[in-house]
């Protein structure tokens, strides 16, 4: 029997077929093992689901074609290293295939992440609808716990972390003058793991007993006594984590080995430094959350009894061990969700102020300081957990000290603004909004480091306020700044500036009206993660809910602007911002292999205002080397305006 070509070639048909095979495999394996172990009933829906959750995504990835090259190589069949049939996008369909072009993957990542931003945002609207009045509205407590758990999980693992990976995927190889990432096929696999993880989290709503509802923290032993939906989280996080780690390794190798001639570490743009630092955090920390969720998975599915404090005579509080392992990832994770944003802000503020970044080296060193210190503060999430009391003291001191490198960054950005020529367009407004919001989030962070105050506000709405000031006012504002800033480069079109400003002001104002009052109700004692609250918090909660609906609606302006501009916006020039970094020296969008000629880097990335300064030129190193200060002036025009790579691509 001949298998149709469509089912043999990599793609969606084969992926669907492999999904069926994967499910059959999970079904067969489970039934076989249960028969051998004399378990009754032999066909158990929960057991089959758990095995299928692991098997089906892996079969899907193979079916889609993420591993074809590797299988060819393993089996000794001829590989096709120079076949670029899966590289670059010519039609929209190419974005729905396994594609090895970092620019395609960057857009795949970014668009997918924004889809999950919308999902997470809609879940937030449900949360605020429920909390608009005391007394149950329309969600049961179980549903409510599920909604806020999925809200947090989706926005952390499927939005903030991957959207930064997506933006960097597009921009970073261009910035360092590389034709692609170091491992393009691994890059494609990293991306395709993501939608699977996201869908799995959302599908948990369909599981018997509802979605996972133990918070994104999934503290044992609550999580290990939850219905099946909890394991959708445990397994989905493994997929998202694997994606993170693979991408981080890819960034590290790319940054270390693929920089253009002349681009020393101290000539790298700060976005590259930021992703270098972030990637170090990811590869070191992410295995810990994988471990913590394997604990939950093994405990629930196979009765490992890791956290069952009542088994045996020990009764020694193993449950706190879960929190240590969890936070050893999840504190560095907040820097994973912030450092790339620091990189974006450095790019935007330098270009839009028309000045060099103030204290470039300190900006780079402070990133590395945050990486190191970021691993020494995790137990500040556990000041009221019942852990050994002495641990609190060193964690308080390191938590306070980590504000020093963060402060250096904020002050350096302020000094960069000083005496510049400020272009107050949409990316810059989001950057300045970020400075304000993140300063507030940093201040509440230092307050939370102070153990006695933390004991009062821990697990209250003050924490909800703080986390949204750093992740929404912080990370999301940098993401918006970055998306607007690189939109012309990514799409070849200009966005609508007027709508962008509307989007900024709506978001900025209603963000503060939504999350600002949460500080107050938190200190007054309203616990977080509640579907119901005391009447004295009613007025503020109504106010917060109404503000949050407008905040949610402001996203529609962004979506319309992006969608309409991508389709109908005016063509973008190669370098509309007059930026010096290399990604702006090629056409918008860039040529399929990025650079027609390998660039040579001859100076720093932010030499705005330095007469005749240039960052990169499109000449081989041998010709570039003799360039002196005077001669650089002659080439400045070419380097600065992007003529070097042939201008318009279309």
Partner 1 sequence: MGLIGAIGIIIGIPLALSIPWFPATGSSQADRIHTLYNVLLIVSVPIFVLVETVVLYSVWKFRMKPGQEEMDGPPIHGNTRLEVIWTAIPAILLVSLCGYAYSVLRSNEQTHPGAMVVTVTERQFAFQFSYPAAGGKEILSPTLYLPKGQPVVFHLRSLDVIHSFFVPEFSVKLDAVPGITTTLRVTPTRLGNYPAECTELCGAGHSLMRAPVHVVTPTAFRTWLVHQKPGGPPPIGVSPPAALNSGQPGYASGSSGSGGSSGGSG
Q: By CB under 8 A, is residue 384 in contact with partner 1? A: yes
Tell me if 600 contacts partner 1 by CB under 8 A.
Answer: no
Does 607 contact partner 1 by CB under 8 A? Answer: yes
Tokens 């007054």 belong to: 524
Q: How far is the CB of 505 from partner 1 (least distance, A)?
A: 14
Residues 82-121 that bind partner 1 (CB under 8 A): none
Q: How far is the CB of 384 from partner 1 (least distance, A)?
A: 5
User: How is residue 583 annotated by DSSP?
Assistant: G
Residue 59 to residue 23: CA distance in whole angstroms: 9
Query: Residue 76 region, left (φ>0) first, then alpha (ψ -120 to 50), else beta?
Result: left
Q: From residue 135 to residue 154, what is the string marking binding to partner 1 with x (rule CB under 8 A)?
A: -----xxx--x---------
Contact residue for partner 1 among 420, 488, 500, 644 (CB under 8 A): 420
Show the binding pattern over residues 286-325: x = contacts partner 1 (CB under 8 A), - = does not: ----------------------xxx--xxxxxxxx-----
395 binds partner 1 (CB under 8 A): no
Closest of 192, 123, 203 to residue 155, by C-alpha: 123
Site for partner 1 in 524-543 (CB under 8 A): 524-525, 527-534
Contact string (CB under 8 A) for partner 1, positions 461-500, x = contact? ----------------------------------------
Q: What tokens does 481 get?
A: 């700044």
Taking CB under 8 A as the criterion, the residue among 415, 494, 499, 538 binding partner 1 is 415
CA distance 451 to 433: 29
Is 353 a residue that touches partner 1 (CB under 8 A)? yes
Q: Pick between residue 339 and residue 432 the one whose CB is nearest to partner 1.
A: 432
**Quick one: three-class SS letters along 442-489?**
HHHHHHHHCHHHHHHHCCEHHHHHHHHHHHHHHHHHHHHHHHHHHHHH
CA-nearest of 247, 236, 322, 237 to 282 is 247
Cα distance between residue 79 and residue 71, in whole Å:
9
Question: Footprint of partner 1 on residues 203-222 (CB under 8 A)?
Answer: 213-215, 219, 221-222
Minimum CB–partner distance for residue 55 and partner 1 (Å): 31
Select from 120, 198, 332, 356 the one that contacts partner 1 (CB under 8 A).
Answer: 356
Closer CB to partner 1, 283 or 391, in the complex: 391
- Give dist(CA 512, CA 400) in Å, integer: 25
Q: How far is the CB of 148 from partner 1 (least distance, A)?
A: 9
Q: Give the distance, in angstroms, between the CA of residue 156 and the centroid of all CA atoms in the same chain.
A: 7
Q: Does 404 bind partner 1 (CB under 8 A)?
A: yes
With contacts defined by CB under 8 A, how many residues of the chain interact with partner 1? 96
- In the bound state with partner 1, the residue whose beta carbon lies nearer, of 114 and 273, is 273
Residues whose CB falls within 8 Å of the CB of residue 314, separated by 6 or more in sequence, listed in order: none
| Residue 410 within binding range of partner 1, rule CB under 8 A | yes
Closest CA to 161 of 181, 191, 203, 182: 191
Q: Which range of residues in 33-41, 384-392, 489-497, 569-577 is near partner 1 by CB under 8 A?
A: 384-392
In the complex with partner 1, which residue's Cβ is closer, 320 or 483? 320
The two structure tokens encoding residue 515: 């999350």
Pairwise CA distance, residues 288 & 267, whole Å: 33
Calpha distance 205→105 (Å, rounded): 29
CB of 589 to partner 1, least distance (A): 25
């Amino acid at each position: 029997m001949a298998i149709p070509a469509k089912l043999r070639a990599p793609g969606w048909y084969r992926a669907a077929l492999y999904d069926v095979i994967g499910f059959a495999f999970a079904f067969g394996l489970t039934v076989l093992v249960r028969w051998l172990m004399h378990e009754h009933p032999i066909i158990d829906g929960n057991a089959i689901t758990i095995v299928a959750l692991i098997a089906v995504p892996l079969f899907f990835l193979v079916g889609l074609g993420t591993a074809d090259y590797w299988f060819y190589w393993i089996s000794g069949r001829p590989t096709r290293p120079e076949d670029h049939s899966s590289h670059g996008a010519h039609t929209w369909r190419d974005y729905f295939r396994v594609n090895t072009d970092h620019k395609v993957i960057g857009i795949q990542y970014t668009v997918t992440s924004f889809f999950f931003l919308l999902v997470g945002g809609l879940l937030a609207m449900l949360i605020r609808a429920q909390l608009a009045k005391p007394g149950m509205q329309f969600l049961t407590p179980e549903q409510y716990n599920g909604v806020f758990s999925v809200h947090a999980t989706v926005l952390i693992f499927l939005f903030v972390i991957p959207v930064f990976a997506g933006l960097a995927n597009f921009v970073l190889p261009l910035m360092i003058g590389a034709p692609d990432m170091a491992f393009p096929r691994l890059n494609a696999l990293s991306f395709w793991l993501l939608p699977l993880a996201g869908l799995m989290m959302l599908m948990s709503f369909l599981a018997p007993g509802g979605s996972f509802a133990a918070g994104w923290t999934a503290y044992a032993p609550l999580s290990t006594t939850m219905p099946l939906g909890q394991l959708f989280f445990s397994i989905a996080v493994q997929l998202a984590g694997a994606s993170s780690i693979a991408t981080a390794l890819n960034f590290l190798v790319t940054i270390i080995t693929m920089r253009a001639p002349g681009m020393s570490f101290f000539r790298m743009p700060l976005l590259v430094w930021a992703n270098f630092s972030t990637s170090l955090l990811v590869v070191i920390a992410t295995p810990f959350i994988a471990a913590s969720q394997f604990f939950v998975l093994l405990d629930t599915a196979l009765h490992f009894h890791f956290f069952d404090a009542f088994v045996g005579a020990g009764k020694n509080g193993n449950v706190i061990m879960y929190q240590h392992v969890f936070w050893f990832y999840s504190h560095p994770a907040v820097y994973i969700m912030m450092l790339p944003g620091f990189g974006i802000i450095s790019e935007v503020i330098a270009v839009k102020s028309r000045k060099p970044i103030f204290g470039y080296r300190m900006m780079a060193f402070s990133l590395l300081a945050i990486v190191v210190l970021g691993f020494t503060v995790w137990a500040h999430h556990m000041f009221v957990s019942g852990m050994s009391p002495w641990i609190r003291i060193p964690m308080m001191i390191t938590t306070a000290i980590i504000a020093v490198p963060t402060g250096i960054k904020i002050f350096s950005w302020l000094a960069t603004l000083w005496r510049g020529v400020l272009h107050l367009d949409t990316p810059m407004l989001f950057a300045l909004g970020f400075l304000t919001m993140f300063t507030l989030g940093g201040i509440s962070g230092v307050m939370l480091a102070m153990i006695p105050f933390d004991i009062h506000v821990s697990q209250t709405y003050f924490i909800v306020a703080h986390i949204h000031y750093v992740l929404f006012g912080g990370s999301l504002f940098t993401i918006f700044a970055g998306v607007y800033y690189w939109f012309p480069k990514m799409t070849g079109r200009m966005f609508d500036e007027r709508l962008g400003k509307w989007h900024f002001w709506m978001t900025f104002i209603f963000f503060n009206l939504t999350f600002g009052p949460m500080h107050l109700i938190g200190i007054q004692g309203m616990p977080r993660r509640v579907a119901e609250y005391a009447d004295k918090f009613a007025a503020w909660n109504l106010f917060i809910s109404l503000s949050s609906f407008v905040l949610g609606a402001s996203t529609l302006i962004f979506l319309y602007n992006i969608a309409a501009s991508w389709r109908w916006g005016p063509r973008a020039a190669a370098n509309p911002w007059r930026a010096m970094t290399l990604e702006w020296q090629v056409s918008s969008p860039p040529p399929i292999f990025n650079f027609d000629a390998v660039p040579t880097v001859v100076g720093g990335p932010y030499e705005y205002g330095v007469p005749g300064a240039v960052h990169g030129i499109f000449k081989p190193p041998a010709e570039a080397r003799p360039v002196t200060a005077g001669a650089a002036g002659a080439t400045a025009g070419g380097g600065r305006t992007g003529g070097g790579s042939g201008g318009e691509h279309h």
